[in-house]
Amino acid sequence: MSNTVETAFAPVSFTETAVKELLKLKNQQEIADDFGLRVGVEGGGCSGMSYVLGFDQKKEGDQEFIIDNIKIFMHKAHQMYLLGMQIDWQDGLNSRGFTFSNPNATSSCGCGTSFSV
């Protein structure tokens, strides 16, 4: 039984610039096709929870989504914290990196990688 979910509705979305950067990173780091992008949360950070974003292998409890031709792994329990979130890539003078626009966050810290619900 496959846990791959291919649907127009996915828990998170990516901007065009984020997709380009993720594909570039995957190619530069020569990441194998059995790896996907893990999107999730973990306890910690100055606001209580931190975002997880990195290439990883599928683990027990993960759901798999195909979003913009990128394989995404997300633990089912994390979806309630991330539903509707958009991930962007900023490459400016003041900031460079992935940013998270999470409608579920009631507050976030200045670094943008920590939040609370």
Whole-angstrom distance between the N-terminal and C-terminal Cα of the chain? 33
Separation CA 72–CA 80 (nearest Å):
16
Token couple for 99 = 């940013």
- 81-95: per-residue pLDDT in tens? 899 999 999 987 777
- pTM, rounded to two decimals: 0.81
Q: What is the pLDDT of residues 12-40, one digit of tens each?
A: 999 999 999 999 999 999 999 999 999 99
The average confidence (pLDDT) of the chain is 84
Beta pairing, strands 12-14 & 4-5: unpaired
Query: Is 8's pLDDT higher than 50?
Result: no
